[in-house]
Structure 1
Amino acid sequence: MSSRRLPGGDIPAARSGVPPRSGAAESAAHRAIAHLLHLLAEEAPTEAFDRLSRCMLDPAVSTDRDLALTALARAGRVRELLAHRKHREKETQALYESARDLASLRDGEQVLEAILQRTRQLLGTDAAYLALVDPDTGEAYMRLTLGTVTTPIQSVRQRPGQGIGGRIIRTGRPYATANYQQDRSLDRDPSVTDAVAEDGIVGIIGAPLRLGRDVVGALFGANRYERAFEPSEVALLCSLADHAAIVIENVRLFERAERTAAELRAANAQLRVQGQALERGTSAHGQLMRTVLRRGDLAELIDAIGGILEGAVALVDPNGQVVASTAAGPGAGLPAVGTGWESPATTARPGAAHRLDGAADDATERWAVPVQAGPDSFGHLVFAAGTPLLEADVRILERSAQTAALLLLMERQAAVAEQHVRGEVIADLLAEREPRWDSFSRRARRVSGIDFDVPHSVLVLTAAGVSRRRLLRAAADYAATRRGLASEHAGKVVLLLPEVDGATAVRAVKPQLDRMTGGTVTCGVAGPAASAAAVRRLHRSADRCHRLLLALGRAGQAAGVEDLGVIGLVLSGTSREQLEQVLAETLGPIVRYDEQHGTPLVETLWVFFAAGQNPRAAARSLQVHPNTVYQRLERVDAVLGHRTWREPQGALTMQMALQLHRVVEQVPIEVLVGS
C-alpha cells in the first residue's frame, strides 16, 4: 500500500480507483484543516496556501473533499478579512501620522506642501494638487501642485460645476475618473483640458475640503496612466481632505490670532506711549498752571515752557514783535524782530500748532501756535529746537499757548480794572466843569500814577468796522506798555501818551492800533503839553482835528492841526465872527440862491474846482452836458455880481470857502474855532 505526505503530516494515499475509508479520510482532512489554521495564524504567504490547496484537492490524497472545500473557502474569507483589516490599520496609522504632522505645522505654505506629499504617499499617485475657492468669484483656483511638470496646470481656474474641481465644489461630494479625457459626464473648459493633457494626466481622484457645510476647496491625486480608483482609496482621500481642511482652517485661525495678538501688542505699546505722553502733558500743564496761579509774569511762563520742551520759546504779538522769549532768545533759532516773520496760515483745527518752513540747510525745527482767548488774539507762541518735536510735545505746546492766553487774559483783566480806575481821572479831566488843578494833579498821581508835569500828547480815536469796546481794549493795551492811559469820553476813545510828541503819535500809533483792532482807525492828535490844564485844552484840539478829518473825507487817517494844510492854519487863527463873515461874503449869496431856487450851484463849484477848473471834466463828473456847466457858472457870476472868483486870488478864496462850508455843515463853528 502506497502513501503521499501532506504538508504538516502523513496521510495514507488511496489506491488508484479505490475509494478511501471514511475514518482515514476524515483524519487526513482534520490534519489539513489544522495545518490551514496554522498557516492563517502565522500569516503565511500565498504560495503556502496554494500548495496546501493543491494537496487537499488532489484525488490521490485520502481526504473528505467537501470538508476540504469548505475549509479552503472559509480560510480564504478569513485571509481577505485579515488583509482588509491590516490595510485599514495601515491607512488609519497613516492618517493619524498625517494629522499629527499637519497639526504640528504653523506655516501655511508648509501645511499645503505636507498635505500634497501625504496624498501622493498614501494613494501612490504621480501628482497631487490642491485647489481653493475664491471667496469673491466662487471659482476654484489652483493653490499648489506637487509632481506636475508643466506651467499651465498651475494656473487653472474652474467655475462651480465645471470640470472635476468645479463639480466637487458645487456638489460637495468626491469624484474619481479613470480617464479624464474620455469622461463624457464632465463639463470641461477647453483651456483646462489642454493644461491637463499637456501635463500628461489621465486618471484623477478628488475630494472636497469641508468646513462645516461650506466647501472651501478640493484635494486631488492624479496619475499619468489610466487608473480606476477603489472606493477605499476614495474614502482615504476624503479622510485626508477632512484632516487637511481642519488644519488649513487652524492655520488661518492661528495666523488671524497672531495678527490680532500683534495688533494688541501694538495697541498696548501705543497706549503705553500715550499714557506716558498724557502723564508728561499733565505734569507740564500742572507746572504751567502753578506759574499762572502764583501770578508769575509772562517771562517766567515762557522760560518754563522752554524748559519743558527743551527749546527756545517766544511770544510774538500780532504785529510780529517779540514780546517775551527764553534766555536763549532769538539767537537760538527764533524769529527776531524785523526778520520778516509772518503769522502761520490758518489751520484746520482752531488753536492747532503749525510747523514753519525753514531754510533748506537749516536743521532747526520751528513751530507756531496761536495764543488766543475767544475772538481775542494775543499773537503766536513760537518754538524752535534742533530736534524734531514729538506729537505729545506738539500737544504740550498747544496747551502752553492756552496757558499763555489765560495769563495774558488775567493781566488784561487786571489792566482793565486799573484802566477803569485811571479812566476816572480822564473823566474828571475832561468834565464839563473844570476841576481844581492842584488837587486834581495830586489825586491823579496818587490814584493812577500819572504825572501831568511830564509832557503828554492827546489822541482822539474812532475806528470803522470795529466796536468801540474793541478799540478801547486795544488802546488800553497799547497805553499799558507805554505808561499811558486810555478811556472813553463822549462816544470816542481818548488816549494819553507821556513823552510822545504829536508827530510821532501821528506816524506810529495809528498803524499799531490798525493791526491790533483789525480795523481802520481815525486819529486826531494834539500835543504835547506839560500840565493838566494844558492837556485838557489839547483834548479839544485833538477832537477838533478828528472832526475835521471826518468832515473833509479823510476818515482812516491820523493828523494834527498842522497836518490839515491851509484849512488847519485858517481855523487855528480865526475867530467865530471872522469865519462867519468869510462864509457870508464869499459863498453866502450862492447858498441862499440854491435854497430859494433848488439849484446845485454850490455842488457845481465844488466839482468844477476838483476838476481843475475844466468845465468839460466837471460835466463828466456831474453827468450833465458841458453847456449845463457853462450855464451854471454864468449863473454864479450873476448871483455874485462879478467874475473875480474865476481869477487866481478869487479862486483860492472861493475854494477855501467851499471847504469851510463843507466842514461847517458837519462840525459846529464853535468847535472849529475853539471858542
Structure 2
Amino acid sequence: MHDSPSSSAVIAALLTDIVDGEAGTADHGTGLDHLDVPAAERAEVIRAVDRLRAELTRLRRREHELSALFSSARELAESRDLDTLLVRLVSRAHQIMGTDVTYLSEFDPSSDELNVRKTIGAVTPQFQSLRVPPGMGLASGIAASRTAQWTQRYAEYSGDPHDSGIDDAVTAEGIVSILGVPLLADDEVLGVLFAATRHEHVFTAEEIALLSALADHASVVMQTAGILKQLRESEDEARTAFARLTEHVEERDRSNVVHQQLIQAVLSGQGFPAVAETLAASLGRGVAIVDAGDRVIASAGDATRLRADDVTGPGARAALVASRRSGHCCEVESSSGSSIEALAAITVGADHYGAVLLSHGELELGAVDRRTIERAAQVCSLMTLQQNAADDAEGRTRAELVADLLDPAPARRRDLDRRLRHRGVDPSRLNTVLVFGIESERRTLLARHLAGIDADPLLVAEVDGTVVAVMVSENPVTAAQTVHRSMSAATGAPVLVIAPPVAASPDGLPRAFDAALRTAALVDVLGIVDGAVDTRDYELFSVLFAHDPDGVDRFVHAAIGAVLDYDAAHNTDLVTTLRAFVRNEGSPTKTARVLNYHPNTILQRLERIRKLLGDNWRDDERLFRISAAVRLEELRGHRLGDSRG
C-alpha cells in the first residue's frame, strides 16, 4: 500500500509540468485526483493549465527573439562593415525563423532591379545570383507596396507577374512558401528580406513581425553604410579639392613671381632674353622666342629639348594659327613628333610678331602655367611695341637727318654738322649716296639688311618714298654691286641700286642724290628693276628727260620706231645693224667687220633701213637723234651681236 502524495507535492508536479511541458493532460487528471478536485471543475482546470503552458512557451520564444534582436543591435553598434553585418543579420534571421532558406535582395535604383546579395541555406548558384526584373514576382510586389507579403505556395502566387528565370531558380532550390518584408529608410526601398521553406508553411503574425524587426535592423545597417560611404566620398572629395586648391595656390604664387619678373624685364629694358630665362626657370622647360620670320631672337633652358625649326612643322603651324585666332596658349599635337609642346603667338591686334615656344617637360602644364605663357607672350608684344616705337622715333630722326643732308637749302644744313657729330658721325667723311629701288613691302627688310652691313659710318633712311643710304666709299659702283649681291641673296627678289659718282664734300651729296633720282626715274621708264646702276651711263638721257621721263618712249618711237616695228613683224634685227653703224662712225666697212658680215650684206641692210627711216636719216641732226634712240633701246635690254636681220 502506497502513501498518497501530499497536496504540496502534487501542486509542485503540476507546475513543473506547466513550465517544462513534459507531462500530458492525462497526468493533470491524476494530480487533480490527489487534490480532490471535483469532476465538474477538472476540465476547466486542465484547459487553464494548457493555456498557461502555451503562454509560457510563447514568452520563452519571445525572449529568444528579443535576445536575438538585442544581439543584432549590439553587433550593429560595434561593427561598420556592411558585408559582415548583413551576413550576421541574414544568419540570425535564418536561426530565429527556423526556415530552410533566408536571403536578402538589394534594390538597384539605376535599374529598379532586386539583386540577391546574401543567402543562408541556398544551394544552387542560380538562386544565389538571382536578379529580379522590375514589376516581376513577389519581391517586386513587396517593393512596390512597401509592406510584408507571403505566399503558402509560390508556384500558385498570382499577386504579380511571374518571370521564367525567377520561377526556374525557385523551383531548382525547392522553395514552396516564402515570406518577404521590405527594408525601408524614409519610405525609400533599400531591399527585401526573405524567409522561405521547402514545404508548405503558414507564416504567423509573430513570424512576420520578427522578420520585419530584423529587416529594420538591416535597413539601419544599409542606410548607415550609405551615409558612411557618402561621408567617405565627401571626405575624399574635400581632400582632393583641398589638394587642388593647394596646388592652385602654389601655381598662382609661382605665377605671380613670374609675372613680377616679366614686368620687371619690361620696365628695366632687359629684353627678350630675360623673358625666355624667367619662363624657362619657372616651368622647367626649354624656351625659345622667334620673330615673325621664325628666326630665334632669344632662348633659355635646356636647348637640346627644343628645336626651334619645328615651328615650321604642320603641328606647330596649326597651333600657331589657333593661338593667333584665340589669343591663348595652344598645345602642339603630340602625334606630330614636334619638340615643341606648347606655344603662344606674339600679336598686337591683327599684326603677328612671332611666338613663344616651349619644349616638353617632366611635369604637365597646368591652367596657371598656360596663363603664365600667355602673359609672357603679352610681355613680348609690349616689348615689340616698345622697340617699334623706338625704331619709329629713330627712323624719323634719321630720316630727317638724311633728308637735311641731301637737301641743298642752307636753312636745313645750318645745324647739320652738330647733329651728325652728336650721333657719332663725322660729316667730312661722307661721300657716297646709294638710292634703292625695291617693292614697298620689302623696304623694312632692306633697311634691316643694310643695318647689318659692316660700314661705318652708314645712315639709312626713307626720304620721300625712296630708300637712301649715305656712307663712305672709294668706289660707289663697287659698293652698289656688293650691296646688290647680298640683298638679292637675302630677299630672293629684284633690287635696284643706283650709284652716283663720289661727292667731293658733304655739300656735294645733294647733287649726287639729285642725279640718282633722275636716273631712277629714267630706268623706271626703261623697265630696269634689278642690278647695280652707274648714273654716268644714263647721265645724258636723265638730263634730257628729267622733266618728262615718260617722253623716252615717244622719243624712241619717233626716231627708230619704224625699224623696231619691222624687226617685230619680220623676226629680224635691223636695230643691231643700226646700233653698230652709229657706233662705228657711220662706216659700212667697220660695221661689217664688227658684225662679221660681208660689206654687201651690211649695205643691203642699210638700204632697208633707209627705206624705213627716209632718205635723210644719215643727216647729222637726224643721225644724232637716231643714235640716242638706239642707245636708249640698248639700255632697255637689247643685246649686241644678235645675228637676226
In the alignment, which residue of structure 1 is the partner of 2:602?
none
Post-superposition offset of 1:275: 0.9
Which residue number in structure 1 is paired with residue 36 of structure 2?
62
What is the CA distance between 1:177 and its match in structure 2?
2.0
- C-alpha displacement of 1:383: 4.8
Q: Distance in 1 between matches of 2:190 and 2:54?
A: 37
**1:177 paired residue number:** 151
The separation in 2 between residues aligned to 1:509 and 1:356, in whole angstroms, is 37
Match of 2:290 among 316, 322, 330: 316
Larger deviation, residues 405-414 vs 450-459: 450-459
Distance 1:527 1:560 in 2: 7
Distance across 2 between alignment mates of 1:430 and 1:446: 18
**Residue of structure 2 equivalent to 1:273:** 247
CA contact (8 A) 1:288 1:304 kept: yes
Report how far residue 588 of structure 1 moved.
3.4
Q: Does 1:574 align with 2:541?
A: yes
Asked whether the 8 Å contact 1:524–1:559 carries over to 2, the reply is yes
Distance 2:282 2:203 in 1: 80
- 1:306–1:540 Cα change, 3 Å: farther
The 3 A distance-change label for structure 1 pair 170 and 144 is same
1:127 to 2:127 alignment: no
- Distance (whole Å) between structure 2 residues aligned to residue 287 and residue 453 of structure 1: 45
2:203 equivalent to 1:203? no
**Structure 1 residues 187 and 377 mapped into 2: Cα distance closer, same or farther (>3 Å)?**
closer
Give deviations 1:442-476, integer Å, cap 9, x for gaps. 42332585857357664556756x6xxxx777667
* More deviation, 72-81/256-265: 72-81
Q: Distance in 2 between matches of 1:122 and 1:611?
A: 127
- Matching residue of 2:204: 230
436 and 261 in structure 1: CA distance in 2 versus 1, 3 angstrom threshold = closer
1:153 corresponds to 2:127: yes
AA at the equivalent of 1:345: R
The yes-or-no answer on 1:167 pairing with 2:137 is: no
**What is the deviation of 1:101?**
2.3
Contact 2:25–2:46 (CA<8 Å) still a contact in 1? Answer: no
2: CA distance, partners of 1:127 / 1:638: 133
Q: 1:405 aligns with which of 363, 373, 381?
A: 381
Q: Which deviations, in whole Å up to 9, do the C-alpha atoms of 1:5-36 show, x marking residues without a partner?
A: 256248xxxxxxxxxxxxxxxxxxxxx4x875
Matched, 1:342 2:312: yes
Match of 2:73 in 1: 99
**What residue is the counterpart of 2:557 in the other structure?**
587
Which one is further off, 245-254 or 368-377?
A: 368-377
Match of 1:665 in 2: none
Q: How do 1:230-309 and structure 2 match up within 5 A?
A: 230-309=204-283
- 1:118 equivalent in alignment to 2:92: yes
Measured at CA, do residues 153 and 333 of structure 1 come closer, stay the same or move farther in structure 2, by a change above 3 Å?
A: closer
Could you tell me whether the CA contact under 8 Å between 2:428 and 2:506 is conserved in 1?
yes
Which of 408, 417, 420 in structure 1 is aligned with 2:393? 417
> RMSD value over aligned CA atoms?
5.0
Q: Which residue of 1 aligns with 2:498?
A: 526
Distance 1:533-1:253 versus aligned 2 partners, 3 A rule: farther
Task: Determine helix, strand or coil for the equivalent of 2:102.
Answer: strand
TM-score in terms of structure 1 length: 0.68
Structure 1 pair 324–57 and aligned structure 2 pair: CA distance change class (3 A): closer
Q: Distance in 1 between matches of 2:306 and 2:53?
A: 99
CA drift at 1:285: 1.9
Give the corresponding residue for 2:589. none
Say if 1:589 and 1:639, in contact at 8 Å, map to a contact too: no
Distance 1:111 1:72 in 2: 46
Q: What is the CA–CA distance in structure 2 between the aligned matches of 1:372 and 1:497, rounded to whole Å? A: 34
Structure 1's 5 and 488: CA in aligned 2 closer, same or farther, altered over 3 A?
same
Counterpart position of 1:46: 21
Between the aligned partners of 1:271 and 1:248, the Cα distance in structure 2 is 34
Alignment identity in percent? 26
Uncovered stretches (5+) of structure 2, i.e. residues with no partner: 474-478, 573-609, 618-625, 638-645
Asked if the contact 2:526–2:636 (Cα under 8 Å) also holds between the matched residues in 1, the reply is no
Opposite residue 421 of structure 2, the aligned amino acid is: R
**Within 2, Cα distance between the matches of 1:639 and 1:494?**
44
Amino acid at match of 1:411: Q
Q: What amino acid maps onto 2:197 in structure 1?
A: N
SS in 1 for 2:106: strand
Q: Distance in 2 between matches of 1:186 and 1:512?
A: 91
- Kindly tell me: are residues 285 and 585 of structure 1, through their superposed partners in 2, closer, same or farther at Cα, counting changes over 3 Å? closer
State whether residues 525 and 542 of structure 1, in contact with CA within 8 Å, keep that contact through their aligned partners in structure 2. no
The within-5 A match list for 1:382-393 is 382-383=357-358, 387-388=362-363, 390-391=365-366
Aligned length: 571
Counterparts of 1:214 and 1:612 in 2: how far apart (Å)? Answer: 106
Cα displacement (A) at 1:51:
7.0
Aligned mates of 2:437, 2:95 — CA distance in 1: 101
Measured after TM superposition, the shift of residue 62 of structure 1 is: 2.1
The residue aligned with 2:329 is 352
Give the aligned residue type for 1:54: G
Equivalence for 1:664:
none
1:630-654: per-residue Cα shift (whole Å, max 9, x none)?
xxxxxxx999779x9xxxxx9x979
Aligned CA distance change for structure 1 residues 504 and 341 (closer, same or farther; 3 Å): farther
Q: In 1, are the aligned partners of 2:420 and 2:426 still within 8 Å (CA)?
A: yes
Q: Given the superposition, is the C-alpha separation of residues 359 and 472 from structure 1 closer, same or farther in structure 2, using an over 3 Å criterion?
A: closer
Q: Kindly indicate whether the alpha-carbon contact (under 8 Å) linking 1:484 and 1:495 is maintained by their aligned counterparts in 2.
A: no
Stretch moving more, 440-449 or 351-360:
351-360
Contact 1:459 1:523 in 2 (8 A): no
Q: Which residue of 1 aligns with 2:4?
A: 4
How far apart are the structure 2 equivalents of 1:259 and 1:211? 20
Q: Mark the CA change 1:400 to 1:88 in structure 2 (over 3 Å): closer, same or farther.
A: same
Matched with 2:622 is: none
The secondary structure found in structure 2 opposite 1:574 is: helix
Q: How far did residue 352 of structure 1 move?
A: 1.5
Which residue number in structure 2 is paired with residue 627 of structure 1? none
Post-superposition offset of 1:265:
0.7
CA distance in 2, matches of 1:459, 1:509: 13
- Please state how far the C-alpha of 1:246 moved relative to its aligned partner: 2.9
Distance in 1 (CA, whole Å) between partners of 2:275 and 2:44 is 113
CA positional deviation for 1:376: 4.1
**SS of the residue 2:317 aligns to:** coil
Letter in 2 for 1:502: A
| Partners of 2:434 and 2:470 within 8 A in 1 | yes
Out of 494, 500, 507, the position equivalent to 2:467 is: 494
Residue 553 of structure 1 deviates from its aligned partner by: 7.4
Of 104-113 and 248-257, the range deviating more from structure 2:
104-113
Give the 3 Å change call, closer, same or farther, for CA 357–574 of structure 1 in structure 2.
farther
Query: How far is the alpha carbon of 1:205 from its aligned partner?
Result: 1.3
| 2:177–2:198 contact (8 Å) kept in structure 1 | yes
2:114 pairs with 1:140: yes
The aligned amino acid for 1:496 is A
Are residues 513 and 146 of structure 1, via their aligned partners in 2, closer, same or farther at CA, if it must alter by over 3 Å? farther
In structure 1, what is the Cα distance between the partners aligned to 2:287 and 2:212?
74
Alpha-carbon contact 2:406-2:509 (below 8 Å) kept: no
SS in 2 for 1:4: coil
